[in-house]
């Protein structure tokens, strides 16, 4: 099978890694894989340091017909069988490539998170323009169906991470970070690996915790006024750190520092950062929203709280701090959930099977 994967936005770490992992997985199974990207993006940086075939398609916006024409011609030249498109710009560009410029390949759109502003008119547009739509969780599928996309047109394929992505954590970097943050053996450290996604809930919960805690926000800076205001107003017994944008290797080196990892997002499709934390042995807490319940079984391999329930989040944090038996259970079952036999390979096989389902 000859595959073209596109992500013309490519600036968000999670979605960019999802594209990159899919490309690597299909490539490892002997398929010809080509990734279309926009220059200067995070995905571009990932591709530059890999052996994955890639080409710049610098779509300016979703109505860039020049990019749509280029994509259609590229698919013909490379004899592409199937196109996987991820971003909003990609969805329009690939449909126009089909309708206006004669793209003949099978066209699959991938939805990584809860759709924002997806009207029924757009739902019809996406249904008519594609052969299938992949939703990464049951919740994402439900949101798509509420926008008028038929259930039969949607396939659920949960995200996964390749085992090698977490096997090479730089232990020297871990020790360096411990010194940088002043972390001692018995310190309580809460980590959040995410772009801006309701981190204020974490800060409000921390304010209610009696024990001193170090909180590390990985992937964002402190130049967001509401976060900066909250973190400076909270008791001085707690310490807050904001890493800004850092590399994936540096992100991985942060996980071993965490007593727990919290994701307070209400729009997550199927979080790669939760997968990474669980695989590394960090107990996780997340909102009982969107795709999080597809991954986390509350009280078994992680803890869930209702969105905006600060008291509930505080209770979850205290449970992990005070209940060592529960903490060890969450760690053990979290690792097991991510390391189920050939989970990543099963994800890739499901993407392979999409081609057959479109006929």
For all residues of the chain together, what is the average pLDDT?
A: 90
Q: 146 and 172, same structural domain?
A: no
User: Going along the chain, which residue ranges are E strands?
Assistant: 2-7, 32-37, 53-56, 82-85, 106-111, 132-135, 154-156, 188-193, 213-218, 239-242, 260-263, 284-287, 303-305
Q: What is the mean pLDDT of residues 213-225?
A: 86
Q: What is the mean pLDDT of residues 125-131?
A: 95
pLDDT for 341 beyond 60: no
Q: 194 and 326, same structural domain?
A: yes
Query: Shortest CA distance to 357 belongs to which of 137, 136, 134, 146?
Result: 134
Residue 285 burial (CB count, 10 A): 28
63: CATH: 3.40.50.2000
Q: 323 and 174, same structural domain?
A: yes
Nearest-angstrom CA–CA distance, 82 and 351: 10
Nearest-angstrom CA–CA distance, 270 and 231: 28
Close Cβ partners of 115 (under 8 Å, ≥ 6 residues apart)? 140, 143, 144, 147
Q: Over pLDDT 70: what percentage of the chain?
A: 98
Name the token pair of 167.
Answer: 């096997």
Q: 283 and 155, same structural domain?
A: no
Contact in structure between 155 and 133 (CB atoms under 8 Å) = yes
Structure confidence at residue 266 (pLDDT): 85
Structure confidence at residue 10 (pLDDT): 57
| pLDDT tens per residue across span 75-115 | 999 999 999 998 889 999 999 999 999 999 999 999 988 77
Nearest-angstrom CA–CA distance, 64 and 129: 17
Q: How many domains does the chain have?
A: 2
| pLDDT tens per residue across span 31-62 | 999 999 888 888 888 888 888 999 999 888 99
Q: 332 and 233, same structural domain?
A: yes
Q: 258 and 153, same structural domain?
A: no
Q: 245 and 179, same structural domain?
A: yes
Q: 206 and 138, same structural domain?
A: no
Q: 76 and 7, same structural domain?
A: yes
Structure confidence at residue 359 (pLDDT): 60
pLDDT for 347 beyond 80: yes
Q: 352 and 332, same structural domain?
A: no
Query: Shortest CA distance to 25 belongs to which of 358, 349, 274, 357?
Result: 349
pLDDT for 240 beyond 80: yes
Contact in structure between 50 and 24 (CB atoms under 8 Å) = yes
pLDDT for 342 beyond 60: no
Structure confidence at residue 268 (pLDDT): 84
Residues spanned by the domain of 125: 2-162+342-357
Structure confidence at residue 339 (pLDDT): 80
Structure confidence at residue 335 (pLDDT): 92
Q: 334 and 186, same structural domain?
A: yes
Q: 213 and 107, same structural domain?
A: no
Nearest-angstrom CA–CA distance, 58 and 144: 28
Name the token pair of 255.
Answer: 């996980």
Structure confidence at residue 11 (pLDDT): 58
Structure confidence at residue 119 (pLDDT): 85
- 39 vs 12, 57, 60, 121, 175, CA distance in Å? 14, 8, 11, 31, 35
Nearest-angstrom CA–CA distance, 14 and 26: 18
């Amino acid at each position: 099978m000859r595959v073209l994967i596109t992500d013309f936005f490519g600036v968000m770490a999670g979605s960019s890694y999802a594209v990159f992992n899919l490309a690597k997985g299909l490539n490892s199974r002997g398929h010809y894989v080509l990734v279309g990207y926009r220059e200067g993006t995070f995905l571009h940086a990932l591709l530059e340091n890999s052996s994955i075939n890639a080409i710049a398609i610098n779509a300016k916006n979703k109505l860039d017909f020049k990019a749509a024409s280029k994509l259609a011609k590229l698919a013909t030249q490379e004899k592409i069988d199937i196109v996987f498109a991820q971003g909003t710009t990609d969805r329009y560009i690939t449909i126009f490539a089909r309708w206006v410029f004669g793209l003949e390949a099978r066209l699959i759109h991938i939805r990584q998170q809860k759709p924002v502003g997806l009207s029924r008119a757009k739902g019809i547009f996406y249904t008519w323009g594609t052969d299938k739509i992949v939703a990464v969780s049951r919740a994402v599928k439900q949101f798509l169906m509420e926008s008028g996309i038929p259930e039969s047109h949607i396939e659920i394929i949960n995200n996964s991470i390749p085992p090698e992505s977490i096997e090479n954590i730089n232990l020297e970097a871990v020790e360096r970070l411990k010194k940088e943050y002043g972390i001692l053996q018995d310190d309580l450290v809460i980590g959040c690996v995410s772009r801006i996604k309701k981190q204020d809930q974490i800060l409000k919960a921390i304010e209610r915790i009696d024990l001193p805690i170090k909180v590390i926000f990985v992937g964002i800076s402190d130049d967001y006024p509401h976060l900066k205001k909250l973190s400076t107003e909270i008791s001085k017994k707690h310490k807050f750190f904001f890493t800004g944008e850092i590399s994936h290797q540096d992100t991985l080196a942060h996980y071993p520092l965490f007593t727990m990892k919290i994701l307070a997002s209400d729009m997550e499709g199927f979080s790669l950062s939760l997968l990474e934390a669980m695989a590394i042995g960090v107990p996780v807490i997340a909102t009982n929203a969107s795709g999080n319940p597809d991954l986390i079984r509350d009280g078994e391999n992680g803890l869930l709280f209702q969105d905006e329930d600060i008291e509930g989040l505080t209770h979850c944090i205290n449970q992990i701090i005070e209940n060592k038996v529960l903490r060890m259970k969450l760690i053990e079952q979290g690792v097991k959930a991510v390391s189920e036999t050939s989970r990543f390979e099963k994800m890739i096989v499901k993407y392979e099977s999409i081609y057959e389902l479109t006929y």
